[in-house]
Amino acid sequence: MPTLAEIQTGIRDALVLGDRSAVMPLLLGGLHPEHRLAIHQRHYAASLTRALVERFPATVWLVGSDLVTHAARTFVRDHPPEKPCIAEYGEEFPRYLGAQAGTEALPYLAQFAAIDWHLGRLALATDDSPRVHVIHLDWSLDELMTIFLTENTPEQFALRREEVWLEMYGLRGELRMTRLSDEAASRASGQTQREISCVPS
């Protein structure tokens, strides 16, 4: 009889990796117990895909749900969660999304999705967690994100390629974005409650 840890590992392998060899002997009753397992496999993939897509609302607004959802499905397969908290899942998704076939005409996509990710994360920040993130951008994506957040769509918008150091602040649902000078960004990187990231174009 397998141990509890072995059973848990077998279920994990079946759901995440698609390897049902360890768990199949434990499935009893009915003519096709593998069909019941398949329901859980589909539910795992669908739930995780939905949770991931919902973490990137601005990105869906920008490029549409089809592209983001397709990338999320393959990301879930290729990069299963490594932590028990789903709220922490998806930090590497912006780079993954920006590398997808068909996004060659959107060189700013990874950086925009990174802003989306960090704003969502910072919106949940509390007094005990990092509340400020500084990100280095190659495009005027803060202006584009502001359009999404304010729902104030101009008649025309031109995305400019320019170097931007963007400070994002979040605390208990409050969000704020501020452009920094190079000097201010350098100072920010050494302060507590701050993080620095550079996302490739």
Residue 23, both tokens:
């768990």
Instruction: Provide, rounded to the nearest whole percent, the portion of the chain with pLDDT above 70.
Output: 71
Supply the Cα-derived Rg of the chain in whole angstroms.
21
Q: Give the Cα separation of 180 and 184 in Å (integer).
A: 6
Residue 79 has pLDDT above 60, yes or no: yes
Q: Could you tell me the pTM of the whole model? A: 0.80
Residue 23 has pLDDT above 60, yes or no: yes
Residue-wise pLDDT for 96-131, tens only, equals: 999 999 899 999 999 999 999 999 988 887 777 668
In the structure, what pLDDT confidence band is assigned to residue 192 with cuts at 50, 70 and 90?
A: very low
Domain ranges in the chain are 82-198
Q: Is residue 119 exposed (0-12), middle (13-18) or buried (19+ Cβ within 10 Å)? A: buried
* CA angle, residues 63, 69, 70, in degrees to nearest 5: 100
Q: Which of the 8 DSSP states describes residue 22?
A: T
Task: Give the pLDDT of residue 30.
Answer: 62
Q: Give the Cα separation of 94 and 90 in Å (integer).
A: 8
